[in-house]
Structures are given as C-alpha cells and as structure tokens.
Structure 1
Amino acid sequence: MTAALTPSAVLDAADWRARRHAHEERVDGWLTPHLARRRRGEKHPVEDFLFTYYSHRPAQLRRWHPGPGVLLSGADPAEFGRDYRASGAGVMLDTAAVRARRAESIDWIRTLLAATAGRQPHLGCFGMHEWAMVYRQTQAEVRHNAWPLRLSPEETARTVEANRIRCSHFDAYRFFTAPARPLNLLAPSREAQPALEQPGCLHANMDLYKWAYKLSPLVPSELVADAFALARDIRTLDMRASPYDLADLGYPPVRVETVEGRHEYVQAQRSFAERAAPLRARLIAECEGPALTTRR
C-alpha cells in the first residue's frame, strides 16, 4: 500500500456490508415510489423534485461509499468504482487522486459553504420566491400547471407586490418571471453566489444535498443521504407555502399571504436552518480536514 492510501479506519467485511445494506434500504424508501411513478408516466410536484431538478441519478444516490481514509477488508475494487485501489488487506478510496482531479471544484464548494455558514440567517422571505415564479402568468403558463393556484392571478400578484422580495439564491431567482425580477431587492448571479447565500434560505439548505453528492465519494454516502432527507423535508415546506393548491396530494397550505401563515413559515424556516447547520459544518470539515489532504 502506498503512503497516499494509509488508512485512518478499517472496517471488516461484516461491518461495511451492514453499513452498505442500511444505506441502500434507507434510499430505497425514497426511490421505490419515484421509480414506480416514472414507469407509469406520473409526475409529483413535491416527491419527484429532487430527482428531476438535481443531476444525481437514483442509482448514484443508492450506491454506497465509505468516505476517505476507510479500508474495506475483503472488498473488491470493482464493486466501488475507478477511484478505489486494492491492497493486500482490502480496498480503499484513492483520496489523493480524486482530490487532485477535483481541486478547483472542492475549493469552490468549501468557499461557498464557509461564507454561508459565517452569516446570520435571514428569515423574512416568506417563500415569495415561489410566488415570483408565477407572477403575472396564466394558469397555462405556470410551471406546475397540472395543479391549480390557491388564489386568482390578481390576488397572487397582489401578494407578491405587498411583500418585499429579497431572494439571495441565484437558482431560485433565475426562475422568476420577467416582471417579477425587478421586484427583487437583490440581483443574484452565479459569480455573486458566495457573497449572497445565507443559512436561512430554504434553497441554500436544500442545496447541501447537491454539494454533498458533488463531493462524493470524498464524503460518506450516509452524509449524502442525510442531506437528501433534509432537502426532501424542505421541498415539502417550499410547496406548501407556494401559491399552488396541493391539498389533494396531502399538503395543506402554509398561507404566507396571512400573518399567521408567515409566522408558521418563519418557525419552520428557523428549524430547517438549525438542521442544516451541522450538515454544512460536516461538509466544510470534509473539504478542509486531513482526510482530504494529499499525503506524501
């Protein structure tokens, strides 16, 4: 074994197979209904979002990786992919090679996450980003047009206009309708992302899933799944607080057009920010920690 593949932990065959099986079972709970709907040609505006918006395929989410520095006794490198190397004792991720190949991406992700973690959460957006995505559109034009809006187009527009929109997340802002963009107090861009994202933003916290899978296999698959679970719960709030009427799907609305609804939204938003903080810290640690440092 080369020095670059010196392990920091060793899992015997029974242990790593048990971890892999537990991960697959957990992920199958999310994948099985999604794949069944896909075979039937059905679409679900909440449950399918993470599989359609993000680029990580179901099979990739299901595949287990132990993370850096873990030697898997009795394993075959063919089971784990091109970045794993065999030794007399087992199989291990070639962390140095992966890190060298992805150095620029890892540094960008670390910079974004650290900048976001260093800011105070802003909790006053009230989910208006979803409303801005349908502002001044007809029912036929809206993105999820198979589902009705809760309010009339004029009432929806008045709700948007009555609230200060301060969306800091570029990938939400870019879906705003053209008339809604000038109403936003900020002008997010990809270049400004590290300067604008803040830890109260639902979409910034949902994106922890994206940064986790983009770092894979340099992070354990359990961490990717934890981020997916958070993103899935956030998507539920995102759509309950949206202008869509999804009550028939089992999603009662959070009526952010009312004082009571805005209070409910802020409480949930604060809870998600608290859940996201340790996941963000773990991802930063994986980017900065000795496990991802090239050894000689």
Structure 2
Amino acid sequence: MEVLAREEWQACAAAHAARIDAFVQPHLARRESRVKHPVHDFLFTYYSQRPAQLRRWHPGYGVGLADGASYAGLKGYAGEPASVTAEHVASQRVLLETLRRLLSATAGRAANFGCFGLHEWAMVYRAAEHGKRHDWPLRLGGGGTDAVVESHRIACSHFDAYRFFTEPARPLNTLSPTSTDRPDFEQPACLHAGMDLYKHAFRLTPMISSDLVADCFELARDIRILDMRAAPYDLTGLEIDGHGFEPVRIETAAGKAAYAEAQRGFAERGAPLRARLVAECERLLAE
C-alpha cells in the first residue's frame, strides 16, 4: 500500500475542493436564493451525488492516509493509515461487474452521430397536452416543435432519456431501450451516456481517485451545455460564464453539422475516461 503523509493528502484534498468549488459554489448560491438554472443545476439535481460528497477527496483503493482520522469513520474506510478496505471492495463486486459490462459494451459499439439531440424534443412533443419538463418557452412554439419531431427519424438509445419522452413520442423512436438492457443499446456518441460517466464514477467512490470523478464531472457539465443549447427551449435569457446561451438549431442543416461536430469532440473526450473506469473496475475485481 502506498501511504501519503498528512501534508501530502491534505494538499490533494484542498486542491480537489478548490477545483470543485468553481462549480459547486455558484449552485449553492442559486439554491440559497431559490434561483433555478436548467443547465448548471442539472448535475446536482438529476444525479444523487451531493455537493459535499463531490468536494471530498478520496485517493482510491490501495492508498493509505497517515493521520487520517477524519476518514476512518467514512463508509469503506478503516485502520491507520486510513484506507479503503478489501472487504468494502469485495462487497461492491456486483456493481463493479455491472459497470464493467456496460462501459465495455458502450465503448465497443459504433458511435451514432445522427441523433441530433432529438431526445429533448421528444420530451416536449405535443406539450400542449402533456406539458414541459422545464419552465421555459419553446423556441419554435408548440406546433413548430411538434413538426420537427414528426419530420425526423428519432433513434434514442439511452433509457434515461427515452423514459422522459411524452407518451405519443415513444412510438416514434426506432429503439425501445429499457432499464435492464442498457449494454445492448448505449453507444459512445450519446450525450447522456457521456454525462453518465460522472454517475458511474461517483458510484465507485471511494474505491477510485476523486481526480477521475472530477474529470468525469467536468465532461458532464460541458455536455449538458450542448444538450440544452440543442434543446427546443428558448434559453436566450440565460448566461454561461457571462456569455449568452445561443441555440444550436438542429432543425437546420447547419445546426445538425454543428451538433455532430461538437458530439464528436465529446465522444473523443469521453473515450479515455470510459477506458479509465473500465480499467479501475478490472483492477478492483482482481483484488
């Protein structure tokens, strides 16, 4: 076991907290003021990882923390130096095997760059009857939004997006993913599969390094921006880092090209993170 001196791991923990605070503190300030942001709050409301959990740094299995009494009482930890126990790793075997299978299957499947983010449009199809998920106006209005859905081929492979389709939109999807067959459908260009790398990473906490979790979080945050820029909502009143929230008009040829180009970039960023998560699962399963 590698053992980090108190000064070493405290420096790592402080650097991690500072990195995460750039994202967490604005969210907490909005929450205090009861102001919602449909883009930046998503990773803290849709996913179950709380801000305080994301801020806490973990070295991962195989690293001990000298004088780490503050960790000794945390789930999965024991001993001095404080470290994640082999017993905890063994107790997570089903999770490790499940994630390895899903992530490996996703990485091995051909990427689909032709979905154009239409999952968000299918979620508000015939919104006049079924309502909207976000309290923002539709950029093309109800009729215009419905026309985009009806004039495109929808091929959403991600169950957690598909399950939010309105009832009349579901038969329009060429696929029918469920919660139990994710390895049979998920593909590496899917924006939601890319965002979910963050979910998979924090579910492996504290067995993996928080550096990997933070890398996945940052990717998910950037993907969410594209996800909502390409959505049917009119978000021009929002700002991102002081800049306006310009839509990616996927109903046009230029918008489709811009979306696919950005999607390729995220797929390229996600591939090594997915590979690192698979490698961590395999390392932990070998214990």
| TM value normalised by structure 2 | 0.95
Amino acid at match of 2:103: L
Amino acid at match of 2:88: V
**Is the 2:198–2:213 Cα contact (8 Å) retained in structure 1?**
yes
Secondary structure, aligned partner of 1:248:
coil
The offset of 1:15, in angstroms, is 1.6
Instruction: Indicate whether 1:28 and 2:21 are aligned.
Output: yes
Measure the CA separation in 1 of the matches of 2:62 and 2:73. Answer: 14
Measure the CA separation in 2 of the matches of 1:133 and 1:229. Answer: 25
Instruction: Indicate whether 1:223 and 2:212 are aligned.
Output: yes
**Is the 1:65–1:80 Cα contact (8 Å) retained in structure 2?**
no
Identity %: 56
Measure the CA separation in 2 of the matches of 1:105 and 1:209. Answer: 15
**Is the 1:68–1:292 Cα contact (8 Å) retained in structure 2?**
no
The offset of 1:85, in angstroms, is 2.2
Task: Name 2:224's counterpart in structure 1.
Answer: 235
The offset of 1:39, in angstroms, is 1.1
**Is the 2:188–2:194 Cα contact (8 Å) retained in structure 1?**
yes
Task: Name 2:3's counterpart in structure 1.
Answer: 10
Q: 1:262 aligns with which of 256, 260, 265?
A: 256
**Is the 1:77–1:84 Cα contact (8 Å) retained in structure 2?**
no
Task: Name 2:162's counterpart in structure 1.
Answer: 173
Amino acid at match of 1:161: E
The offset of 1:247, in angstroms, is 1.2
The offset of 1:84, in angstroms, is 1.8
What is the correspondence of 1:174-189 to structure 2 with a 5 Å cutoff? 174-189=163-178
Measure the CA separation in 1 of the matches of 2:154 and 2:118. Answer: 6
Instruction: Indicate whether 1:288 and 2:282 are aligned.
Output: yes
Instruction: Indicate whether 1:141 and 2:131 are aligned.
Output: yes
- Gaps spanning 5+ residues in structure 2: where? 239-243
Task: Name 2:139's counterpart in structure 1.
Answer: 150
Secondary structure, aligned partner of 2:78:
strand
- CA deviations over 1:246-286 (Å, ceiling 9, x no partner): 11112100000000000000000000000000100000000
The offset of 1:74, in angstroms, is 2.8
Measure the CA separation in 1 of the matches of 2:67 and 2:31. Answer: 37
What is the correspondence of 1:1-296 to structure 2 with a 5 Å cutoff? 7=1, 9-76=2-69, 78=71, 81-87=74-80, 90-94=81-85, 96-138=86-128, 141-145=131-135, 147-249=136-238, 250-289=244-283, 291-294=284-287
| TM value normalised by structure 1 | 0.92
**Is the 1:77–1:86 Cα contact (8 Å) retained in structure 2?**
no
Measure the CA separation in 2 of the matches of 1:91 and 1:192. Answer: 38
Measure the CA separation in 2 of the matches of 1:44 and 1:244. Answer: 13
The offset of 1:13, in angstroms, is 1.9
Moved over 2 A (4+): 77-80, 291-294
Secondary structure, aligned partner of 1:138:
helix
Alpha carbons of structure 1 residues 144 and 204: separation in structure 2 relative to 1, 3 Å = same
- CA deviations over 1:14-64 (Å, ceiling 9, x no partner): 221111000001111111111111111111100100111001111111111
The offset of 1:82, in angstroms, is 3.5
Amino acid at match of 2:8: D
Amino acid at match of 1:109: L
After superposition, the CA RMSD in angstroms is 1.4
Measure the CA separation in 2 of the matches of 1:77 and 1:32. Answer: 23
- CA deviations over 1:165-190 (Å, ceiling 9, x no partner): 00000000000001100000000101
Amino acid at match of 1:203: H
**Is the 2:72–2:78 Cα contact (8 Å) retained in structure 1?**
no
The offset of 1:210, in angstroms, is 0.4
Measure the CA separation in 2 of the matches of 1:79 and 1:86. Answer: 7
Measure the CA separation in 1 of the matches of 2:145 and 2:188. Answer: 27
Amino acid at match of 2:111: P
